[in-house]
Amino acid sequence: MAAIRFKEVQRFTTWWAWLAVTALNGLFIFAIVQQIILNIPFGNKPAPDYILMLIECFMLLLLLFLFSIRLQTSIDETGICYRFYPYQFKETTIAWHELRDAYMRDYNSFHEYGGYGIRYGSAKTGRAINTSASCNRGLQLQFNDGKLLLIGTKKPEEIETIIKEIIALGKINRAV
């Protein structure tokens, strides 16, 4: 038997958020160039120069923040590890013996969890960790205490193969 190894890094890919932040950055860069460099007031009631600079700094930080978002998932013989940076500084590890079941399923992030990121759904759906709308399949984990966690993935076929192998090896105690 080959060693079980899976690694995936997902980035935040919601196009409308990227478009909005990039457009706002462009607008404030234009305003700074016009008002500070060309000495032409931006608008009928122009903001002070330092306000334009502060807003642009904030917009650049927001762009950097979007760029830094990533979900790292790894699976091996011992369990599942995930980290949703920059919200989680430490990796979370789930050992196979902590799980009653694991399987792939389709989901709708907005309808079931209210959006992307680290989300809390109802008692029926549990928590979810995901990055974008293009990720509509996830690894559903059911813990021995009945709690649920869904980890979104863009590689569902690979994970499904691994989970079937883990179940065949008896590492998940489905009888609990």
Q: What is the pLDDT of residues 128-150, one digit of tens each?
A: 999 876 678 999 999 999 999 99
SS3 (DSSP) at 145: coil
Q: For residues 72-83, give the mean pLDDT.
A: 95
In the chain, the percentage of residues whose pLDDT exceeds 70 is: 97
At residue 108, the pLDDT reads 87
Q: How far is the first Cα of the chain from the last one, in angstroms, to the nearest whole number? A: 27
Handedness of CA 48, 52, 54, 55 (dihedral sign): positive
At residue 1, the pLDDT reads 46
Residue 169 tokens, joined: 């090896």
Greatest distance between any 2 Cα atoms in the chain: 74
> Could you report the per-residue pLDDT of 2-13, keeping only the tens digit for each?
577 899 999 988
The structural domains of the chain, with segments of one domain joined by +, span 9-68, 75-168
Distance CA 160, CA 122 (A): 25
Listed residue (120, 15, 137, 121) closest to 73, CA to CA: 137
Say how far residue 168 (Cα) sits from the centre of its chain. Answer: 30
Is the per-residue pLDDT at 152 higher than 90? yes
Strands 117-120 and 148-153: unpaired
